[in-house]
Chains A and B, each alone.
Chain A
Amino acid sequence: MNASTHDRPSSSSAADAAPDAAPDADAALEGREGSAPNMRRQTLRRLGKMGLGAAALSFATFGPGVRKAVAQDGDPVSILNFALTLEYLESVYYQTAVDTDGLLPDGQARDVYELIATHEEKHVGVLRAAISAAGGTPVGPFDESNFDFTAGGTFPNPFDNYTVFLALSQAFEDTGVRAYKGQAANIPGDLDIDVPDVGTFNALTTALQIHSVEARHAAEARRLRAARGDANVQPWILLDNPGLGQSNDAVQPVYAGEDQVTQAGVNLADQLNYDEGPISEAFDEPLSMDDVNAIAGLFITDDDDDSDN
């Protein structure tokens, strides 16, 4: 395993691209009027454009539309909308799977994914409520028409082939875990959001609570794959190994940097009598918003009327 072969856009180049930020995002955050479909189209376009480059391209190569997608640091609502977009991706993916006859084997797999689909739908709901209560405008709602789970044909048949479905499920869940982790430090600890008639949600705690549920999902998806012999994976992530199976190259960016063995400034591989494998397993690594958007963007479609862009 060698993570250094997987280029990642540097955070500095992404930050450099940010200054002319975000009329679209601003509109969403400030509740500036635009029809809901417009808002959705704009958001998806931003994400979709990012995905086209995958993780190997520098953000400097992208056009202005991509720069709009860079959330402003410290803006909790844009972080929550980032999370909401990922939850929509997962929710639509799993609901489509549950609704597709013959995809999920009856019994354990169907039970598992019906539960996960329910969880992701609830995550969409709580994030939408929190964003609205915080004075923002939630992105979406998104449905099947907004996503392309073949990623332009890279994964030909996720809803016809359970093996492919599971591989993508693992990738989405592991990405989700990394995404929340990467934003935790950007969420203020004292942002309590009162949702009328529901309750008070501390933004950071809520994000952590969702994060831990995604981790449980990720472990289960990996367990199901391992049990079928689809992949040589454990519930935890070994180095930056996506597991044997098809489409490893396409999902490799999901695991870039997971082979980290230096924590709190200490190279644990040097300091402890453990190999790099278990050390890497013991820590999940964050992903930046840009890196997550590059992955998620592979699965997000442009609207037809974006064809002139």
Chain B
Amino acid sequence: MICFLNPNAVFMADSPSETASTETAFPLQPTARNSRRGFLRTLGGTALAGGAFATVSGCDTDNDDDGNDTTSVTLDFNNAVDVLNYAFVLEQLEAAFYARAVQAMDEDGLDLGSEPANDYFRDLAAHEDIHQQLFATAIGAQDGRLIGISNFLTLEEDFDFENPDAVLEMAQTLEDTGVSAYNGAGVYLAGSDAFLTLAGKIVSVEGRHASAIRALTGGPTHFADLDSNFLTDLNANPDFALGVAQSPSDVLGAVAGTGLLSEDLQINTTNDEMDVPNTSS
């Protein structure tokens, strides 16, 4: 059984310009293909050249009761590189979602209702793709395993990309969840100053995204409505106007709840017992 979680296998071949094999392991959305291919070529040629990637560990493929292959991976939050992989998973999901939404705008007439909304999505597609490519680079530079999820995306089967309300709602869920994930994961990067600051550079952009998307989906105060049901469910603390911080397992539960990832992929966590405080008002 092949473990698809590790796209590094293609890099290890030290033939970075083999786009065919690259795309086999890391299927691309059409709108992102060119930039991704260029990135992978460069990545293979520089950061990864001659570098031996660690083979993936904690990635098992089993037959479960329903007969489908289930692949599981465990993220160790004592390991900064795995915390980056956690972020990488989220960014890949966002990037794929927005790339597919932009494709729907270009090819299927998806209209999010206003010019700013449509423009936002094109910007967000670029930002999230940049984020996930940056994480691939940063993780690669650490000789870390790279947990690619592209083979487990279920965008086509499970989501109606021609329904603008559904697209906006999903974007809001992904952005709010992303912000809460970074907020909750900061403590696991404490001491890894460069990575913590890098995560900080990204989370505020995710916060800007969340604000902008929410401005499209709700009333005047929806952009930062810490009293709203969704955010309350995610342990916002409106008493102190603290944005949501979620534990990794809660975030991964929310990701599973989007239905955008196959249930055949199980992402487990370990050493993530640090509580997310600030919620016991």
Contact = CB atoms under 8 A, between A and B. Distances in A.
Nearest to B122: A278
B208 A219 contact: yes
A263 B134 contact: yes
A38 interface: no
B6 interface: no
A280 to B, nearest CB: 10
Contacts of B280: 199-200
Contacts of A116: 224
Interface stretch (B148-156, B210-218, B250-258): B210-218
A309 B90 CA distance: 53
Contacts of A279: 130
Interface in A265-295: 265-266, 268, 270-274, 278-279, 281-286
B103 to A, nearest CB: 17
Nearest to B200: A181
B137 A126 contact: no
B205 A112 contact: no
Contacts of A119: 224, 226, 241
Contact of A199 (B46, B225, B281): B281
Interface stretch (A47-55, A188-196, A240-248): A188-196
B281 to A, nearest CB: 6
B271 to A, nearest CB: 13
Query: Interface majority SS on A: helix, strand, loop or mixed?
Result: helix
Interface string B142-163: 0000000000000000000000
A123 B240 contact: yes
Given A184-B197, A202-B278, A264-B134, A210 B208 contact: no
Contacts of A126: 240-242
B35 A268 contact: no
Contacts of A226: 116
A283 B205 contact: yes
Contact of B208 (A118, A216, A263): A216
A283 B207 contact: no
Given A181-B204, A282-B127, A271 B224 contact: no
Contacts, number: 235
Interface stretch (B18-26, B67-75, B176-184, B261-269): B176-184
A213 B242 contact: yes
A278 B183 contact: no
Contacts of A115: 221, 224-225
B38 A273 contact: yes
A108 B237 CA distance: 24
A95 interface: no
B186 interface: yes
B186 A282 contact: no
Contacts of B46: 271
A286 B197 CA distance: 8
B203 interface: yes
Contacts of B39: 271-273
Contact of B242 (A189, A192, A209): A209
Contact of B197 (A181, A188, A215, A268): A181
B191 interface: yes
B183 A205 contact: yes
B197 A185 contact: yes
Interface in B12-48: 34-35, 38-39, 42-43, 46-47
B277 interface: yes
B240 A265 contact: no
A240 to B, nearest CB: 15
Contacts of A185: 193-194, 196-197
A30 interface: no
B134 A200 contact: no
B277 A205 contact: yes
| 4 pairs of A and B residues whose beta carbons are closest in the complex | A189-B190, A215-B207, A273-B35, A219-B211
Interface of A: 107-108, 111-112, 115-116, 118-120, 122-123, 125-126, 177, 180-181, 184-185, 187-190, 192, 198-202, 204-206, 208-220, 223, 226, 234-236, 263-266, 268, 270-274, 278-279, 281-286
13 contacts: A115-B221, A119-B224, A185-B196, A198-B281, A208-B183, A208-B203, A208-B245, A216-B224, A223-B215, A234-B123, A236-B209, A274-B129, A286-B200
